[in-house]
Structure 1
Amino acid sequence: MYQSILVPVDGSEHSAKALGVAAQLARGSSASLILLTVAEYPPGNMGLFTGGMPEPFTADNWNDIADSLKADADDALQKVRDAVDLSGLEVETVVRQGTPAEAILHEASRRGVDAIVMGSRGVSDMHGMIFGSTSHKVSHVAECSVITVA
C-alpha cells in the first residue's frame, strides 16, 4: 500500500499521535518513515516584537537565533520520537529550515512519498486560527495522500 510516509513533527501531542498512526501504517505495509521537523526562520523585523528598532540584529545575531531554532526543532523531533515505539521500522529523521507548509510540501515532492501523516494542530495553535493551519495548507496542495490526525 505505502512505501514511504512523511511525518512532519513539531513536538506537539498531535504530532505524536500522527506518528503513532504512521507507525501502524508502516508496519502494515512495510513502508519507511521520514520524520521531518521544520525550524522556522527568525523574522526579519524581530526588533519590532521586542520593542526595539525594526532591524537591531546583525547577521551574526540572526544566525545565532536561526541555530537556536534548529536546536529547538531537533529537541521537538526527539521528544515525539521517544513517545512512539518505532522498533522494527525504517526511520529517517530530517530537519529543514523554512516555512512549515512549504518545507513539508517540498520534502514530500522531492522524495515522492506516498502519504503525509500529520497532526491537525501543532504547537502554534493561535497562529493557525488566524492564518490557517499548516495541515490545512498541506492537505490542499500536496500531490499525495494526506492523513490528518486529531
Structure 2
Amino acid sequence: MYDDILIPTDGSDTVPETLAHGLPLAADNDATVHSLYVVDSRVTAAADDETGADLERSLEDEGRDAVADVEERAAAAGLETVGEVRHGTPAKTILEYADEAGIDLIVIGTRGKSPREKVTSLGSVSERVVDNASVPVFVVRNAGADE
C-alpha cells in the first residue's frame, strides 16, 4: 500500500514519537523511509548578511544531524532510507518533496498549540501539510503537548 513514506524532521522532541509510529508503518509495508529537514528560508532571510550566513550554516548542520538520526533509526529497523536537507518554507517544501519523490504517506509530528498560540500564529507546519497534501497524512501528536 505504501512504498515511500516521508517523515519530515525538525530535530525536536516530537521526532522519536513520530518515528515510533512511522517506522512500523514502513516496516509493515516494506517501504522506503524518506527523511527531510527544511532550513526555513524566512528565518535566514530575516538576519543580516553575516549573521544570516552563520545561521544558515548552523541550520544546515542541525538538519544533517536530524536527517542522519532518522536514517540511523530506520536503518536499525532494517529499512531503506533516503535523506535530504532543503531550503524553503517548511510546509511548502515538504509538499513539493512529497510530489517529486512519489511519496505515498507523510508521517509528521506536531507539538500541539495552546488556544492562545493558535490565535496568534499563522498555523503550524503540520496543519498546512494536512490541509494541502495530495497523499494521506498521519499526524502524531506529542504526548507531552498541551492543548
| Same fold flag (TM > 0.5) | yes
Q: 1:104 to 1:29 in 2, by over 3 A?
A: same
Unaligned runs of 5+ in 2: 142-147
Taking the TM superposition and a 5 Å limit, the aligned residue runs for 1:67-78 are 67-78=57-68
Instruction: Confirm or deny: 8 A CA contact 2:44 2:55 kept in the other structure.
Output: no
- Where 2:106 maps in the other structure, the secondary structure is strand
- Which residue does 1:7 correspond to in 2? 7
Give the structure-2-normalised TM-score. 0.80
Taking the TM superposition and a 5 Å limit, the aligned residue runs for 1:36-115 are 36-41=36-41, 42-46=43-47, 57-58=48-49, 61-81=51-71, 86-115=76-105
- Where 2:37 maps in the other structure, the secondary structure is strand
- Where 2:14 maps in the other structure, the secondary structure is helix
What is the deviation of 1:85? 6.8
Cα-Cα RMSD: 2.4
Q: 1:45 to 1:14 in 2, by over 3 A?
A: closer
- 2:15 partner amino acid: S
What is the deviation of 1:84? 6.5
Q: Find out whether 1:118 has 2:125 as its counterpart.
A: no
Unaligned runs of 5+ in 1: 47-56
Give the structure-1-normalised TM-score. 0.78
- 2:122 partner amino acid: F
Structure number with greater CO (CA < 8 Å, separation at least 6) is 1
Q: 1:80 to 1:29 in 2, by over 3 A?
A: closer
What is the deviation of 1:26? 1.0
Identical-residue share of aligned pairs (%):
34
What is the deviation of 1:72? 1.7
- Which residue does 2:144 correspond to in 1? none
- 1:12 partner amino acid: S
For the pair shown, the structure with the greater C-alpha radius of gyration is: 1
CA distance in 1, matches of 2:33, 2:70: 13
What is the deviation of 1:18? 1.3
CA distance in 2, matches of 1:45, 1:30: 42
- 1:131 partner amino acid: L
